[in-house]
Amino acid sequence: MEKNTAITLILLGIFSLFYGCHVKEDTHELVNFDISVNMKGEPVEEIPIYASGNVYLMVMDTFLIILTHEEKFFKVYSTQSYQLLGEFGDRGDGPSEFNLPYLSKEIWCSGGPPRLNQVYDMRLNRHYSVPLMQALIEGDYEGKPVRETNSQILNFYFKTENYLLCTTQNQKGRFLHHNYKTGKSKVIPYIPKTEFSIEDEDDLYWVYRSAVMVNKQEGLVAAAPLLLGQIDFFDMEGNYLRTTQFEKPDQLKENLDRMKVEPNLFEPKVYISDIDASERLIYGLSMNNLGKHIGDSQLQSPHKILVFDWEGNPVKEYVLGDGRYVFSIAVDEKNKRIYAYCPNENENNLVMYSFP
């Protein structure tokens, strides 16, 4: 019991800083990033972020969407001029109101009006598909309850006309997958398995807690487990496909072995905590640090943004050499830049990194 409490407290501390399929046991060839590029950010002075909690970013076409936990929740800026175009999202229990919204990023495909399809309210248990321009002008959108599970949703990933992917409190597995075509749900277990045994359910949850992106066009789901140096791929039916491993889990194994003797000492390394993607590439924000060092300017190693293609091949890594603590990112391929929310900055918490 002491061990479980220690794990939960330590990892909740980290996140307070930044908030049938078949089982296949795999060994993975370690990949390297042959191209490594150092980047330094510039504060975006035109866009102030006044927030006390977690902040999420998303770029859609020429819009930068910023979600905070302060009313109004959603603010929309131009990526061309940084002008505030509008804001929406009142606090309340009404059909178009929010209490604790979360924005799951999605790949923007041009050709239609911009729409935030993956908004979920953790307290109201509602999913929203928000037409961006209508929301700014009229506030015309409505959340609908997620009734596919009776258990509390801990992590919401996506909901389409065919599928729901999330994690719930009582599922005992990596994901809950619901198929609206068949009306059936299944639990995707903690896969791919590590070469060493992880038996405790609390340990498994934190190790496999994932940053997720969906490529509907390719029928792929990319999921990066928090405490493993890898990115895993599934199909839309929830079947495991393959893994790209960029760091061996030796440090995690040593931690779990040490906890058998010292149950209150858990110091895991944290890998990809946020993710973004385009039709071609996946961008994973790797903390690249022990959890206890994240946010400590004296001890923290530089974060990295790891870039993969949708086959899982490593493309390049961007090393954020300015030493900032980054909580969340949004990639703007059109303007060749990455936006980062940096909560520890004294001012100008939004930072822009330009592609070389």
* Chain segment 289-313, per-residue pLDDT in tens: 999 999 888 889 999 999 999 999 9
- Please spell the DSSP secondary structure of 92-106, one letter per residue: SSSTT-BSSEEE---
Q: How confident is the model at residue 27 (pLDDT cuts 50, 70, 90)?
A: low
Q: How confident is the model at residue 24 (pLDDT cuts 50, 70, 90)?
A: very low
* Chain segment 37-58, per-residue pLDDT in tens: 999 999 999 999 988 789 999 9
pTM of the model: 0.91
Half-sphere exposure for 329 (CA within 13 Å, toward CB): 31
pLDDT at 150: 86
* Chain segment 307-323, per-residue pLDDT in tens: 999 999 999 999 999 99
> Is CATH 2.120.10.30 what the domain over 2-354 is classified as, yes or no?
yes
Q: How confident is the model at residue 250 (pLDDT cuts 50, 70, 90)?
A: very high
pLDDT at 110: 67
183 contacts: CB under 8 Å, gap ≥ 6: none
The structural domains of the chain, with segments of one domain joined by +, span 2-354
Q: How confident is the model at residue 279 (pLDDT cuts 50, 70, 90)?
A: very high
- pLDDT above 90 covers what percent of the chain? 78
